[in-house]
Structure 1
């Protein structure tokens, strides 16, 4: 898989929004290889209480995530941007293997290297059980 030419900092409102949309599209693909291309080879993450470093760990993390979070569907929204940083708020819905649906709410802070690849991602996320009829994001 080839790496697409990333949008590089410093960001404008338009390029920051495009970066957020590209991330949403990649994550909704549920393809760890595709998602990992947006991150620097030495990218560092905090996702909830888990710390991840590098593309190989990112791919492994995403495989575990999507094996548990079935029917995953995500919506991201640009919250703020400055220079090489972007903050987003997001919601995603998923169900576990028993069929219980959840809506996960969170915020992410992103920091990009000069090549436009994400070098750092800090994510805080909360999960709320929902009924299937309460879902907002249907495939």
Structure 2
């Protein structure tokens, strides 16, 4: 990551570049998707929120979120409720500054019920590589723990 010194967009002033930067190629779009998957699997709201512009706009299911602070609060709430969260993202399509992904993730609630969530996201990026818009549609399906696909060593 490198510091930006100037920007035409005040929302990205004095923030860091988040490579790969647009315009995307197949290789850089795949790398961006993998970086997002790795970050979200860290379940670290402070770290993950830095990938978004300070005024980033989200639609996550039926929730509308505006700005990095609300993103951090949302992610904290999410990962406090979705325990042992594990995500897999796959590139669906891309253009110069937009990427679409399909994804699935698994988690369990504090009652022990496991879920697999399926969804699609559309992302739009600022020139510095931070995401400025995220639209997510997600469906949850209850599963048995024995049906989990994503297992990892702790």
- CA drift of 1:37 comes to 1.1
Runs of 4+ off more than 3 Å: 2-5
Q: Deviations over 1:59-100 (max 9, x none)?
A: 000000001000100000000001100000000000001100
1:98 maps to which of 92, 104, 111: 111
**Can you give the 5+ residue segments of structure 2 that lack an aligned partner in the other structure?**
3-15
1:38 maps to which of 43, 51, 59: 51
Residue pair 1:74, 1:93 contacting (<8 A) in 2 also: yes
Matched residues in 1 for 2:29 and 2:123: separation?
Answer: 11
Q: Which has the higher strand share?
A: 1
May I ask how many residue pairs the two structures share in their alignment?
A: 138
Q: Does residue 25 in structure 1 map to residue 38 in structure 2?
A: yes
What's 2:63 paired with? 50
What's 2:8 paired with? none
Q: SS of the residue aligned with 1:20?
A: helix
Larger Rg: 2
What's 1:136 paired with? 149
Over the residues paired in the alignment, what is the CA RMSD in angstroms?
A: 1.1
- CA drift of 1:6 comes to 2.2
What's 2:12 paired with? none
**Could you state the TM-score of these two structures normalised by the residue count of structure 2?**
0.87
**Can you give the 5+ residue segments of structure 1 that lack an aligned partner in the other structure?**
none
Q: SS of the residue aligned with 2:111?
A: coil
**Could you state the TM-score of these two structures normalised by the residue count of structure 1?**
0.96
